[in-house]
Structure 1
Amino acid sequence: MTTETNTQNIPPLLELPTENGVLRYREAGEGEPLLLLHGSGPGVTGWRNFRGNVPALAEHFRTLVLELPGFGVSDGFGAAHPMMSAQTAVRAFLDGLGIDRVRIIGNSMGGFIATDFALAQPERVDRLVTVGGAGTNLFGPAPSEGIVRLSEFVENPTRESLVAWLHSMVYDRSLITEELIEERWTQATDPETLASSRAMYGSAALERMSAAMRNPDVAPGWANLRKLTVPTLITWGRDDRVSPVDMSIIPMRTLVSGEIHIFPNCGHWVMIEQQKAWESVVLAFLQR
């Protein structure tokens, strides 16, 4: 299980037993519940994705940072691919805490998970926010530069390949500190976590994704966006090299109650690189 190098002001890691394993999470604030779902990638955790944003969000909401199975914090839920366990985990988490209705913020992979949950159970989602996690590539190559760098790391996990991937995540490379590299490296090279990452982004996984995109009999996930009725805010970094900003065009045109906010001078980690601006936009939307 992962540890953090700086333990100051970190809410305790709580445990919620479920029939599939233990889900771990952090909680801060009071009020209506707000669920935060993290993205994927080497050494990711929910807390690392959102630790800078929790104080602002927790001023207004009971903020719950869920650690999704397959990333070294919560139990694995028995699935080889974390996306296969995600919906089960989200439902078990909300049921276990007795939460009937929730606002959700999902970063990258977490955005796709949150969208699928809102499509499946719209009565349980009050509002939805995604961060670089909706739609599909229209103009740029697929896989993108960031996904290629991620695949290179999981196939050959070196510090150099980790740094190359981290640099593809941001517009401002000064954000990639030695402390960040070290905390990511320690968890990313854990054998179970690395195996999970390979299942998602290894060369074989990328080939399967490419084959599915070429298969006319497979309905793409973004085709269901027009069925999403939950009020949705799509946020994006203009300079995202992992999920290119042109991915936002399809949700912009198809979401029934959707709106888009694109932040300049910003890569994939919008909530980190444009923290204050992102928090302002998101809180205004969530409280509207």
Structure 2
Amino acid sequence: MTKISTVELGRKDAFPVVFAHGWGRDHKDLLATAELVAPSARVILLDLPGFGESPRPEPAWDTIDYAKAVLAHLDGLGVDRFHWVGHSFGGRIGLRLAAMDDSRVEHLFIVAGAGVKRPTTVLERLRGKRRSMIFQQKKAKATTQDALIELEREYGSADYVQSREIGMRDIFLKTIQEDQIAELPKITCPTSLIYGRKDTETPPVVGKLIHEAIPQSEYIECPEYDHHSILSRGRHQIATMVLEQLNGGAK
């Protein structure tokens, strides 16, 4: 079984709130928000496998594999039902957990979460294909590892580049190709979707698509936040939403 490093805060006898970070990050991204929630909850901050203090899984996992590993880990902590707060990649995993037939998610909080294909215009698709073609042509001519890495930095996203550096390229490619849109109507728990208007990594259109697909969901857009400031400057708003659910009589 793949080890998952965990940091716990708050009260052991209170309802559990599980926090999961984004790609290439670790639990510290969510620590400030978790500390605001801790007086009213059993807070569990995860380092997802391959990040932080958790070793990467041997095979190339998809988000279903991640979800199953998280559940097994929570079983070991004696956690049954829980609230899930997932940022970006952690949002992908949260959607998987909530869509399971026997889902244990009481309330799903998706913060700048990914998981569905981002809509693109015909022009954007044409530009993307041309850019990819140029990259492949230059890649075929690269004669050294350094030259290849430099090309990836020029043509790839920051996460794509980093995935090589941390030895997670296979998992990165597998998970970003997923589209969970067909599974989202299976989510029956209340779901809160929080997105920053200035987010270019998972822009509001992604959150709106997820909102349309999940029956019991609410969509909140924060005008001044981007992909990461929604966790720092927006931490009080996220924490307030979680606390409202905890104080509303969660089981």
Q: Which TM class, normalised by the smaller chain length?
A: 0.7 to 0.9
TM-superposition CA deviations, 1:53-100 (whole Å, max 9, x none) = 121010111000011111251132322346364123211111111111
TM-score by length of 2: 0.74
Question: For residue 35 of structure 1, what is the aligned residue in structure 2?
Answer: 18
Identify unmatched segments of 5+ residues in structure 2: 132-147
Alignment match of 1:137 (pick from 118, 121, 124): 118
1:244 is the counterpart of 2:203: yes
TM-superposition CA deviations, 1:248-272 (whole Å, max 9, x none) = 2222222111101111111112122
In the alignment, the residues of structure 1 paired with residue 181 and residue 83 of structure 2 have an alpha-carbon distance, to the nearest angstrom, of: 21
Shift of 1:36: 0.7
1:264 is the counterpart of 2:223: yes
Shift of 1:107: 0.7
What secondary structure, in the 3-state scheme, does the structure 1 residue paired with 2:8 have? strand
TM-superposition CA deviations, 1:7-37 (whole Å, max 9, x none) = xxxxxxxxxxxxx132211000011111111
In structure 2, do the counterparts of structure 1 residues 108 and 286 end up closer, same or farther at CA, with 3 Å as the change threshold? Answer: farther
Shift of 1:224: 1.5
Question: For residue 136 of structure 2, what is the aligned residue in structure 1?
Answer: none
C-alpha RMSD of matched pairs (Å): 3.1
What letter corresponds to residue 73 of structure 2 in structure 1?
A: F
Please tell me whether the aligned partners of residues 267 and 273 of structure 1 are also in contact (alpha carbons under 8 angstroms).
no
In the alignment, the residues of structure 1 paired with residue 247 and residue 119 of structure 2 have an alpha-carbon distance, to the nearest angstrom, of: 32
What pairs with 1:54-69 in structure 2 (closer than 5 Å)?
54-69=34-49
TM-superposition CA deviations, 1:103-133 (whole Å, max 9, x none) = 1111111111011011115441111100111
1:93 is the counterpart of 2:76: no
In structure 2, do the counterparts of structure 1 residues 66 and 226 end up closer, same or farther at CA, with 3 Å as the change threshold? Answer: same
What letter corresponds to residue 97 of structure 2 in structure 1?
A: F
Alignment match of 1:229 (pick from 188, 193, 206): 188
What secondary structure, in the 3-state scheme, does the structure 1 residue paired with 2:50 have? coil
In the alignment, the residues of structure 2 paired with residue 60 and residue 46 of structure 1 have an alpha-carbon distance, to the nearest angstrom, of: 19
Which structure has the greater CA radius of gyration? 2
Question: For residue 73 of structure 1, what is the aligned residue in structure 2?
Answer: 53
What letter corresponds to residue 69 of structure 2 in structure 1?
A: A
What letter corresponds to residue 91 of structure 1 in structure 2?
A: L
In structure 2, do the counterparts of structure 1 residues 255 and 53 end up closer, same or farther at CA, with 3 Å as the change threshold? Answer: same
Identify unmatched segments of 5+ residues in structure 1: 1-19, 149-154, 167-187, 213-219
